[in-house]
Amino acid sequence: MATNTVRLHRVLRTPPDRLYRAFTEPGAFERWLPPFGFIGKVHRMEPVVGGAWRMSFTNFGTGHSHSFGGKYLELVPGQRVAYDATFDDPNLPGTMKTTVTLTPVSCGTELSVVQEGIPEVIPAEMCYLGWQESLVALAQLVEPDIAG
């Protein structure tokens, strides 16, 4: 069974700790991770190494949902998040691994994302498209510096 890997890179105007929180707080994760046109729902999130997480995406137009989840593999506050995930749908076999690296830079944080083991049936370009949309929503969440 062949799999895909995608690699993404962004520089965001926000500190690493705020980005880290976006990956480990349920309300934040469900706010930015779903691609455009989807609603995210976190059903479980235990952000400790070995802790479980589970969520679903619902297509706003059709109402169809798919769910997935896994375990946290590595958590270094403000620096790194790694987790695995499997889809509940048997047509999307295998286990994916996502590794997020946060590096402080002069204007904020350099964000690197590597997602490996994407099921062959999902074209890599669709993953890139989805991640690009998610990263726009992530920037909208973490970059504003709102007083109060």
Two structure tokens written together for 54: 């589970």
CATH no., domain 3-142: 3.30.530.20
- Give tens-digit pLDDT for 14-39: 999 999 999 999 999 999 999 999 99
pTM metric for this prediction? 0.94
Q: From CA 147, how far away is CA 59, in angstroms rounded? A: 34
Rg (CA), the chain: 15
Break the chain into its structural domains and give their ranges.
3-142
- Give tens-digit pLDDT for 39-89: 999 999 999 999 999 999 999 999 999 999 999 999 999 999 999 999 999
